[in-house]
Amino acid sequence: GLTDAILTTIINFNNEKMQIAWAAREQFPHENVSFSYTFDEGNHKIWKPCPSYLLDQDYNYGCLFETEGPTLAISIRNNNGSEELYSKRLKSDFYLKPNRPKNVTFFWKEDTVTVSCNKPDGAVKCLRLELQYKSKFDKDWQSRTSTCCSVGGQGFDPGKCYYFRVRLKRLVPFCNVVPYSSDWEAETFWKNGTLLDSCDDDIKSQSNTVILLSCLLAVLLLMLILSILLCKWQRLQKSVMPAIPDPKYILADLFSDHNGNFQEWIDKTDPAVAQSKLEYEEPECIIEAESQQEDENSDKQGPQEKPFPFSEAAENNDRITVQIASTMPTSNTVASFAGFQILMNDDMYVML
């Protein structure tokens, strides 16, 4: 039961090195275990001690040794070797991890890219070449896989800068029991069939464009907000403090058309005033002429008896009133009466 419970990690590095690792702290917390292995078969096995332990704070957690054949047997014992704690027999080829692809070349033709590498030693039929790529506008890698040792595809934009990386993979379960792949070959940067040092220049130019557009949009938005606030402020100002009209616009025709003649301007612009003037215009004074004619007639005919006698003072007052009314001046004239200068206008208003 203990033998089956122990978990190990087995990696065959391209049939060159073997690495066996175990969880030392969880499975053997109180002792340092010893490790031995053999590639021999049959009853005459020669067990070899681990030539290079992998250590974690002075605890053995793995062993690294050379690959010597397709069949491997391992044994983990306690510190003095008296008790076997774990053993296993396996095919080393089923845990093979290939090396990185070598001499990777890129061939560009318009929007098609073909990637190839040298064929590795060993079973090439168990290997697949994987190509991953992304542009500066992509967040995740896109992948294409083909048989070793060439892979390609269409649809690449010549105007974009692409990141490329390739690796070799082992087929599962026909060739490997664990899906091991090689490490990624170093990334390369391509644009329109030209190898570049990096895609940072394109990213920087894109960032500068985004920043410029963002600033321009912010300025336009700020101008729109200021325009709205200005309109609202003008409305508020008109409602709280209404503007006083400028009289020069209201009385413009007074000076341009009537040369400052207010009476002429008001007559033309205010029909109600003109109508009231016609209604209240007083008749011409003809009393004095009629009085003189009556006096002449009375002199010829002699004295006559008056039906309604009046006092002499009343007659004098009437005569004075008749004289004032009959001698009223025309528009805008100055009249003298009892030592006073009186200015008369068309509406018969008296101004002292």
User: Model confidence over 231-266: pLDDT tens digits?
Assistant: 888 777 777 766 666 665 566 666 667 676 777 777
Burial of 243: CB neighbours in 10 Å, binned 0-12, 13-18, 19+: exposed
Which of 97, 121, 145 is where one domain is finished? 97
Are 40 and 111 contained in the same domain?
no
Are 18 and 90 contained in the same domain?
yes
pTM of the model as a whole = 0.54
Are 89 and 127 contained in the same domain?
no
Q: Average pLDDT, stretch 1-22?
A: 80
**pLDDT of 1 above 70:** no
Q: Percent of the chain scored above 90 by pLDDT?
A: 32
Are 93 and 167 contained in the same domain?
no
173 cis-preceded (ω within 30 degrees of 0): yes
Longest Cα separation, the chain: 192
Domain hosting 27: range is 8-97
Are 93 and 18 contained in the same domain?
yes
Which of 196, 231, 252 is where one domain is finished? 196
Long-range Cβ contact pairs of 5-9 (< 8 A, separation 24 or more)? 6/76, 6/85, 6/86, 8/74, 8/86, 8/88, 9/62
Residue at 269 is within a domain: no
**pLDDT of 129 above 90:** yes
Report H helices in the chain.
2-5, 24-27, 200-240, 247-250, 252-256, 262-269, 271-279, 287-301, 312-326
**Residue 347 pLDDT:** 54
Rounded Cα distance, 159 and 181, in Å: 32
Output phi, psi for 287, to 5 deg: -65, -40
Nearest to 332 by CA among 320, 345, 322, 323: 345
Q: 64 in helix, strand or coil?
A: strand
Are 51 and 69 contained in the same domain?
yes
Contact 150, 129 (CB under 8 A): yes
Are 79 and 158 contained in the same domain?
no
CATH code for the domain in which residue 47 is found: 2.60.40.10
Are 91 and 109 contained in the same domain?
no
| Of 73 and 327, the one with more pLDDT | 73
Give the pLDDT band of residue 296 (cuts 50, 70, 90): low
What is the tens place of the pLDDT at every residue in 140-166? 999 999 998 899 888 888 888 999 999
Residue at 17 is within a domain: yes
DSSP conformational letter for 40: -
Rounded Cα distance, 178 and 172, in Å: 7
Cβ neighbours of residue 349 closer than 8 Å, sequence gap 6 or more = none
**Residue 153 pLDDT:** 86
Residue at 57 is within a domain: yes
**Residue 266 pLDDT:** 75
Residue at 331 is within a domain: no
Which of 225-239, 260-274, 333-347 ranks highest by mean pLDDT? Answer: 225-239
**pLDDT of 288 above 90:** no
Residue at 213 is within a domain: no
Q: Average pLDDT, stretch 321-330?
A: 49
The CA-based angle 168-172-175, given to 5 degrees, is: 80
**Residue 242 pLDDT:** 66
Residue at 150 is within a domain: yes
Between 9-18, 127-136, 172-181, 236-245, the lowest mean confidence (pLDDT) is in 236-245
DSSP H helix total and E strand total for the chain: 9, 20
Q: Average pLDDT, stretch 182-186?
A: 93
Which of 196, 221, 250 is where one domain is finished? 196
| Of 314 and 177, the one with more pLDDT | 177
Q: Average pLDDT, stretch 267-276?
A: 59
- Mean pLDDT score of the chain, rounded to an integer? 77
Between 102-111, 246-255, 259-268, 327-336, the lowest mean confidence (pLDDT) is in 327-336
What is the tens place of the pLDDT at every residue in 195-219? 898 888 655 555 667 788 888 889 9
Residue at 145 is within a domain: yes
Residue at 72 is within a domain: yes
**Residue 229 pLDDT:** 85
Helix axes 312-326, 287-301, angle to 10 degrees: 130
The count of structural domains within the chain is: 2
Q: Average pLDDT, stretch 126-149?
A: 91
**pLDDT of 223 above 80:** yes
